[in-house]
Amino acid sequence: MVPLSWYLIFAAALFSIGMFGVLSRRNAVAILLGIELMLNSVNINLAAFWRYGDVHLMAGQVFAIIVFAVAAAEVAVGLALVISVYRSRRTVVADEIDMMKW
Amino acid sequence: METTTLIWLIPLPPLLAFFLIVLFTNRSKALSHTIAVGAAALSFIGSMIVFVRALGVEHLGEHPFESAINWLPTGDTWFRIGVLIDPLGAAVLFFVAITIFMIFLYSVGYHNYGQPAGDHDVKGLPPHGATVTDEHGHKHVVPSVEPMYSRFFAFLGLFAFGMYTLVVSDNLLTLFVGWEIMGLCSYLLIGFWYGKPSARDAAVKAFMTTRVGDVFMLLGIAFLYSATGTLTFREIFTEETLHALASTPAWFGMTASGLIALLLFIGTVGKSAQWPLHVWLPDAMEGPTPVSAMIHAATMVSAGVYAVIRMFPLLTADWNGHELTTTMTIVAFIGAFTALFAATIAVAQNDIKRVLAYSTISQLGYMIAALGIGAYVAAAFHLITHAFFKALLFLGSGSVIHGMEHGVLHTGNHHVDPQDMYNMGGLRKKMPITFWTFLIGGFALSGFPLVTAGFWSKDEILADAFGHGHLAVFVTLAIAAFLTAFYTMRQITLTFLGEPRTEEAKHAQETPWTMTTPLIVLAFFAVTYGWVGISEHFPILGGLVPNWFHDFVGHTLAEVPEAPEFSWIPLLTSLVVALGGLALGYLTYRNVKSVSEDKFQIPLLKNKYYFDEAYNFLFIRPAYWFAENVVYKFLDKGVIDGFLHAFGPFTQGTGSALRNYFDLPVINRAIGDGSAEITYWFGGKLRGIQTGRVQQYLMLALVTFIVIGAALYFFVFAA
Amino acid sequence: MTGEQIVFLVVAFVTLFAGLMVVTTRNLVHAALWLVAALFGVAVTYVILHANFLAVVQVVVYIGAIAILFIFAVMLTRRDMRDQGPQMNKNWWFGAVLAVLTFGGLYFLLQGWEGMTKTATSYPVGFDAISELGNALVSPAGYVLPFEVASVLLVAALVGAVYVAFNPRNGNSGK
Amino acid sequence: MDFISTHLLSTILFFPALAALVMLFLPKDEAKLHKWFALAASLVPFVLSLVLWFNFDPSQPGYQFEEMYTWYAAIGSSLHLGVDGLSLSMVLLTTLLTPIAILASFSINDRTKAYMMLFLFLETGMLGVFMALDLLIFFVFWEVGLVPMYFLINQWGSANRNYASLKFMIYTMGGSLGLLLAVQLLGVLFKTYDLQTITEQWSAYTAPIGGIPASTFKTVAFWAFVIAFAVKVPLWPFHTWLPDAHTEAPTAGSMILAGVLLKLGAYGFLRLVLPLYPAEAKYFAGALAFLAVAAIVFGAFGSYAQTDFKRLVAYSSVNHMGFVVLGIAAAAYAAGTADARIALNGAILQMFNHGLSAAGMFFLVGVIYERTHTRNLEEFGGLFPLVPVYGGILIFTSMASLGLPGLNGFISEFLVVRGSFGVGVNSVPVMAVYTAVAMLGLLFTGAYILKGIKKVLHGPMNEHWAHGEHKLTEINTREIIVMVPLMVLILWIGLYPSWILDVINKAVVMLF
């Protein structure tokens, strides 16, 4: 049997990788890719806790499904924004999108 | 009708007449004078009924007609006002009713009722006469009717109301009400021809001078009321109250009764024009007519003496019968001094009314002096006889002036003063009724022996003064009496005797019946009224007629005063001064042709001892100066407003100091600007991290999160 | 070491490698494809965990829909990003440090947790996880409300996405 | 009808304010409508206060027609209304003078809507002071009255109105600061602002407050009250706002200012100072009497010095109101004695009387000012033949102001003099001296009144006013209607004062 710790460390590693992507990539689409990785790591955790807890309690899976839904929504909106920004500013480089600057 | 009800009603018709005329009928001259004269007649009839009924009461002194109602609530009690007719009241009411009725009647003629309106007459100035064309086409100038005819009667009505109120009052307060209403009327009547500056100023002067006395009187009333709790005469003049007042010490070393009497007396000094408040009365002759002059001189000023007579028990409350009290001394001194003082001025006056005015002052001084030495009945007697003959003289002089005005209109020379005696002369032929009645009045004033009323009353005063040992008063009054006879004869001589000195005097005319009838009636009383008060001790005549007046009026007091013992000295004195004065007057002025020949035109006397000038210099101008410069300009505008206005600069100074030395450096610079600058500085330093790049924000957040999380973990959870 | 463990380790390694490639590769199309690989790895992990439904959904939704969406997006925006210039920003090293720190922190925290070494109970025989899941999702006693909310969110997000991405200037809105 | 009979006071109080609010919705340019509406609206409280007067039982102690509504429960203040004989006469005066003043301002044609609204608000403010039985309410209405008056002077006044209105406002506000503080002290101390409760407890209060002896506090609070009211009365030397404000105010404003607003100060003395501080009032009565006498004498002198007709009348108010305070001071000296009651009767009646005569005088000045546009006495002269009716009315009213017996002023002045001199004779000799000095003021009352008549009516006619465009026109019917009620009351009180004095007297006996 695979111990719970493996899943968790695996998820943590995937999360960190995704976070690195979020923090470091210049391309907005790439940032979204990083986010997808982070969300997946969370889902692994949820599924693992479901399996290693009481399997009759479906909370883990339910939440994983909701995360899917949220992820789908996020991607949809995020990509729409990227396209919109790209249209108006002709760039998708996150560094250059700094209208919030002082 | 109940006598008391009737007494209540006596003052009302003239008041009603006043309101009716003012509010409704002032456009109609006929209606106005009908109402006014009718009202006077009603009051006259009522007064006579009351007088007759009063005569019929046995002990009127103890049981007078009286009635009172609640008027003012004062705490738990009421101040009551009412009417009272006791012997004194009845006697006074008698002469007041007669004279007032006569005045009303006389005024109709004097103001030229029935004559056409004047050509250029305006309200506020005396009428100047009207031009009429007779059936032959000749133009004549005739006297014109007074433009403010109705108003005059309204004022007269109000005046009569005041006088009646004063007489029938049973208390000092309503007496004062009547007193002041008359004051107002005298103001209005003196200023009747308000268009003349002299009349206007004389009116103000009269009001103010009498008001000086009035405020003292008001103070005396307040004092009396405070000390006794009542102002009703019959309650004050009880043995206990008077005794209590007489034994209460007040201020200035006087007893309460003495001080109150003195304060009330000062009111009289003002009203009766005694020295030193006499200055208004001669000026009051600016009044339009001898009628109004007579109102002041013969009736209203009598009110002052009447008040002192009324308050006689109070005046003498602390008197032992011999030594005069302080108050009485003052009263006697002022009376005697005024009698002499005014008589000397009268000698040098040329205006027919002014002579009479000073004569009035002098005669009132007589009465006051009599009261000061305790001669109650004599004073009351002289008051009444004087009222008759002085009214007669004033009306007579009015008649003369009226006749002279006729002459002035005839010649058209308006520069001739119809009141100046040096413009007259020889009028006895032109105006016989006036002359004879005036002569009677003049003789009565001089105290022509035996036949005139003036003789009996004046003699009684002299006898009292002598009999009670007040020689200084006696001598002074005797000299005054001599002067009185002298100037009276001077007046008669200059006016009626000799030949006319001017064209106007030649064309003078006798006056209409409305004016002469009152003269005749008053002349009757000027002679006969003396006979009701002939002393029993008088040789031969004494006892022929009972001394009714002494009995009747004397019973007003609780103790009927004793008539003095008969003595030849005062009798002879009064004979000598009266006859001597008359003779000297006639001899001196028999041949005087013009004013330059008059030896008595001494500037000091002519200018009335410069009292007007002195008062103007001492009181009036300083008062105005004080009011304008000290009170208004210095205190109000300078000190108080200056203080207030200083508040502005002061507040501004404080404000700018606060601003310059606290707000700006401390609050603004250090705290206000300082905090902003610090924030600015920090912001400047920190804004570098506001890159607008989402990833950097995220990094920062994560760093913070990690640092805080680590710190929490290691220092809180792990610890 | 059981076969299951070996399988897990292999899958995990592949997944992590794919994830690393996603965040590091220069070509975005490649990155998207590496994402597909990583997602597939995760799906296998679900299978190992007996979460069959999740595995299927992972494949269908993520790989089938989201990953494809990414590829479209990359293609749409690719014109000036065509593999030129650095793909990493200048703070990438700091991001790396933070990622490592995060992983370290998580690892450290997990180390201190007693449930870490817990092993799974044997999967109950005849347990129908899918129908249980279905019941839980739509039963009023279960998670129907969050489920519905999630669906509403999805709708809202889609509408919003359409609105944001819609370009009135070039679009045919008629203006 | 039942509502009105149970809420009579609040109806009287708030009706003018309500009417003013209704007026807000009237069209802007209908000056005639505004005037008639305001007149009608101000007649309603007058009629109601007549009802009040006839239903009032003077022999019953305490307040009547009491009403109480929660207003500010947290600090113990409530809208507590009630009248006794003292306030009743003042309420009657206010409701009487307001319609008269509104009728007097019919000649105003500038922004009538705002003007009339301010007047109606002013009435509510004044009535509130007289009806309030709660200190805080009293203070609120006290200040409410200021605002409309400020604007009336500031907007409709004559040349120097800015200065005058500012002075008026600052002066009275400044005076009432101490009052507010003292009221707050009482409120904090007793947890209520109810006048009756505070009156019962405060005069007997002896415990130290914050370590400072109560007597110190009482003295300070006493002076705070006194100064607030003294400014309003106005007592010398706080009077200089008055001539300016009166002179610059529009005619009706002066009428109300002299007729009612000054009475607020005197009313404050009677309603608050004497009951709350009997001991302090007695202790400081000498100072009060001194200031009163100063007001009487200097007021008379000040008036005598004027060449401005309106200012002359304004100063006469200082003089007349001095008598009110003299009576109050005398009563404070010898509370409970018959002398004190007489003095108070006089003081209260004097308040009423001065309300009538001063309003009348200001109106008459206004009448001639409207026609000639000058108030300078030197420019008049000999106008009597031109305006005989006006002249008669002027002389009549002047005589009332002068205190001629037979008219109202005499009764009250006599009672005050009698009362204070009685206190002098029977208890405190110094009052006799003060009264005697006050006589000097009475003398000069005559001087300035006669000066006014002399300069306006008498003497040679100033031909300027006789012909042509400047021709002086006679007083018109509306103006006569304004004067008639005043003159009738002046005469009526002068001849038969007990209808009102009885009510006042019973209240005085029960209160003091």
Is residue A17 over pLDDT 90? yes
Give the separation between CA B144 and CA B162, rounded to whole angstroms: 30
Phi, psi dihedral angles at D349 (to 5 degrees): -65, -35
DSSP string, D352-404: HHHHHHHHHHHHHHHHHHHHHS--BGGG----TTT-HHHHHHHHHHHHHHHT-
Out of B551-555, D71-75, D264-268, give the one with best mean pLDDT. Answer: D264-268
Which has the minimum average pLDDT: B164-173, B558-567, D94-103?
Answer: B558-567
Which among B696, B706, B709 is the nearest to C91, CB-wise? Answer: B696
pLDDT, tens only, D107-119: 888 888 888 888 8
For the segment C83-96, what is each residue's pLDDT rounded down to a tens digit? 566 777 787 888 88
Mean of the per-residue pLDDT values of chain D: 86
Question: Whole-angstrom distance between the N-terminal and C-terminal Cα of chain D?
Answer: 35
CA–CA separation, B273 and B202 (whole Å): 14
Q: Do chains D and A touch (3 or more CB pairs under 8 A)?
A: no
Domains within chain C, CATH numbers bracketed: 1-83 (1.20.120.1200), 128-175 (no CATH)
Residue among D417, D456, D491, D492 with most chain B CBs within 10 A, to mutate: D417
Mutate to test the interface with B, among C101, C107, C111 (most CBs of B within 10 A): C101
Task: Give the position of tokens 């109810």.
Answer: D194
Q: Provide CB contacts within 8 A for B278, sequence distance 6+.
A: B338, B342, B361, B611
D427: buried, middle or exposed (CB in 10 Å: 19+, 13-18, 0-12)? middle
Which H or E run contains B131? strand B130-133
Band (C174; pLDDT cuts 50, 70, 90)? very low
D346: its two tokens: 């006089």
**CB atoms D414 and B222 under 8 Å:** yes
Q: Which amino acid is at B1?
A: M
Q: Is pLDDT of B162 > 80?
A: yes
Q: CA–CA distance from D360 to each of B224, B307, D389, D402 (Å)? A: 34, 34, 14, 13
Nearest partner of D229 among D150, D166, D142, D140, judged by Cα? D142
3-state secondary structure of D315: helix
Residue B229 pLDDT level (bands cut at 50, 70, 90): confident
Provide the H-helix boundaries in B71-137. Answer: 87-110
B141 DSSP β-pair partners:
B131
Inform me whether the pLDDT recorded for A13 exceeds 90. Answer: yes
Q: Rounded CA gap, B209 and B361, in Å?
A: 14
* pLDDT: which is higher, D226 or B621: D226
- Which pLDDT band, with edges at 50, 70 and 90, does A15 fall under? very high
pLDDT digits (tens, 9 = 90+) for B328-369: 888 888 888 888 888 888 888 888 888 888 888 888 888 888
Q: Is the dihedral of CA B306, B311, B315, B321 positive or negative?
A: positive
Between CA D296 and CA A64 the distance in angstroms is 97
Distance (Å, whole) CA D225 – CA D182: 7
C94 Cβ contact list (under 8 Å, min separation 6): A23, B699
Q: Is the model more confident about D453 or about B550? A: D453
CB neighbour list of residue B125: distance below 8 Å, 6 or more residues apart: B193, B195, B196
Task: Mention every residue, 6+ apart, whose C-beta is less than 8 A from residue B93.
Answer: B10, B47, B50, B51, B85, B164, B167, B168
Distance from the Cα of A99 to chain C's closest Cα (Å) equals: 18
Rounded to whole angstroms, the Cα distance separating B142 from B407 reads 10
B618 Cβ under 8 Å from any chain C Cβ: no
Q: Which residues contact B169 (CB under 8 A, 6 or more apart)?
A: B81, B83, B84, B175, B177, B178
pLDDT on residue B144: 75
Q: Which residue of B has its CA nearest to D238?
A: B640
pLDDT at C175: 37
Residue D98 pLDDT exceeds 80: yes
Whether the pLDDT of residue C173 is over 50: the answer is: no
pLDDT in tens, D401-443: 888 888 888 888 888 988 888 888 788 888 888 888 888 888 8
Q: Would you say the C-alpha torsion A43, A48, A51, A52 has a positive or negative sign?
A: negative
| CA pair distance A100, B692, nearest whole angstrom | 4
Please enumerate in sequence order all residues whose Cβ is within 8 A of that of B106, keeping only pairs 6 or more positions apart, or say none.
B291, B395, B398, B514, B515, B518
- Which residues on A lie below 8 Å from B699 (Cβ)? 23
Asked whether the predicted pLDDT for residue C148 surpasses 60, the reply is: yes
Cross-strand pairs, D70? D78
- pLDDT 10s digits, B253-263: 777 888 888 88
Q: Confidence class of residue B567 from pLDDT cuts 50, 70 and 90?
A: confident
| D156-167: average pLDDT | 85
Alpha carbon distance D424, D441 (integer Å)? 18
Range name among C161-170, D396-405, D491-500 with the lowest pLDDT average: C161-170
pLDDT in tens, B123-151: 777 777 777 777 777 777 777 777 778 88
C-alpha torsion sign, points B486, B487, B489, B490: positive
pLDDT for residue A44 is more than 80:
yes
Cα D472 from Cα B409, distance rounded (Å): 33
Question: Taking phi first (over 0 means left), then psi (-120 to 50 degrees means alpha), and beta for anything else, what does residue D305 get?
Answer: alpha
pLDDT given at position B295: 66
Has residue B222 got a pLDDT over 50?
A: yes
pLDDT of C13: 92
Q: Which chains touch B (3 or more CB pairs under 8 A)?
A: A, C, D
Say what the pLDDT of residue B498 is: 78
Total residues belonging to chain D = 512
CB-based contacts of B312: which residues, under 8 Å, 6+ apart?
B371, B376, B557
* Contact (CB<8Å) A100/B692: yes
B685 close contact with A: CB closer than 8 A: no
Q: Hey, what's the torsion of the CAs at C1, C2, C6, C9, to 10 degrees?
A: -70
pLDDT digits (tens, 9 = 90+) for B388-446: 888 888 888 888 888 888 888 777 777 777 788 888 877 888 888 888 888 888 888 88
Domain ranges of chain B: 389-606, 616-717
Paired with B169 in beta bridges are B83
* Mean pLDDT of the residues in chain B: 81
Grade residue B297 by pLDDT with cuts at 50, 70 and 90: low
The whole-angstrom distance between B671's CA and the closest CA on chain A is 26
Which residues on adjacent β-strands are paired with residue B133? B139
H helical segments located in A25-58: 28-52
The rounded distance, in Å, linking the Cα atoms of A63 and D32 is 79
**Residue B214's closest CA among B186, B245, B252, B255?**
B186
Element (H, E) at B371: helix B352-372
Lowest mean pLDDT among B189-203, B220-234, C68-82, D398-412: C68-82
Query: From its phi and psi, is residue D336 left (phi > 0), alpha (psi between -120 and 50) or beta?
Result: left
- Partners of D91 in beta bridges: none
Residue B134 token pair: 């007779």
Q: Do B702 and C89 touch (CB under 8 A)?
A: no
Quick check: helix, strand or coil at residue B145? Answer: strand
Q: Is the pLDDT of residue B518 over 70?
A: yes
Q: Give B541-592 as a 3 state SS string.
A: CECCECCHHHHHHHCCCCCCCCCCCCCHHHHHHHHHHHHHHHHHHHHHHCCC
Q: Which of B617-631, D107-121, D326-340, D350-364 has the lowest mean pLDDT?
A: B617-631
pLDDT in tens, C14-27: 999 999 998 888 88
Q: Tally the C-alpha atoms within 13 A of residue A79's C-alpha that lie toward its C-beta.
A: 21
Question: Residues of chain B with pLDDT > 70: what percent?
Answer: 95
Model confidence at C121: pLDDT above 90: no
Q: Are D328 and D288 in contact (CB under 8 A)?
A: yes
DSSP designation for B325: P
The pLDDT score that the predictor gives to residue C172 is 47
Residue B691 contacts A where some CB pair is shorter than 8 Å: yes
Domains and CATH numbers, chain A: 4-92 (1.10.287.3510)
Query: What pLDDT is stored for residue C44 in this prediction?
Result: 92
| D234 upstream amide cis, omega within 30 of 0 | yes
Sequence-distant (6+) residues with CB within 8 A of B1 are none
Separation of alpha carbons B642 and B646, rounded Å: 6
Q: How far is CA D492 from CA D98, D212, D486, in A?
A: 20, 53, 10
What ipTM describes this predicted complex? 0.65
Length of chain B: 719
Q: Closest Cα to residue D261, out of D340, D176, D338, D344?
A: D176
- The full 3-state SS of D33-81, as one line of letters, equals HHHHHHHHHHHHHHHHHHHHHHHCCCCCCCCEEEEEEEEEHHHCEEEEE
Mean local confidence (pLDDT), D41-56:
89
* B302 closest CA partner among B390, B364, B214: B364
Give me C89's structure tokens: 């920003």
The structure tokens 């110094």 sit at D430
> What gap in Å lies between CA B521 and CA B526, rounded to an integer?
9
In terms of CA atoms, which chain B residue is nearest residue C93? B699
| Whole-number Å distance between alpha carbons of B310 and B324 | 19
pLDDT of D15 higher than 70? yes
In angstroms, rounded to a whole number, what is the distance separating the alpha carbons of residues D286 and B53? 54
Which of B694, B697, B698, B702 has the most C C-beta neighbours within 10 Å, making it the best mutation to test the interface with C? B702
Q: Is B693 on the interface with A (CB under 8 A)?
A: yes
Higher pLDDT, D467 or D79: D79
User: Which of B70, B626, B641 has the CB atom closest to D240's CB atom?
Assistant: B641
Average pLDDT over residues B477-496: 86
Q: pLDDT tens digits for B101-129? A: 888 888 887 777 777 777 777 777 777 77
Q: Compute the average pLDDT of residues B562-574.
A: 75
Give the gap in angstroms from C-alpha B641 to the nearest C-alpha of chain A: 60
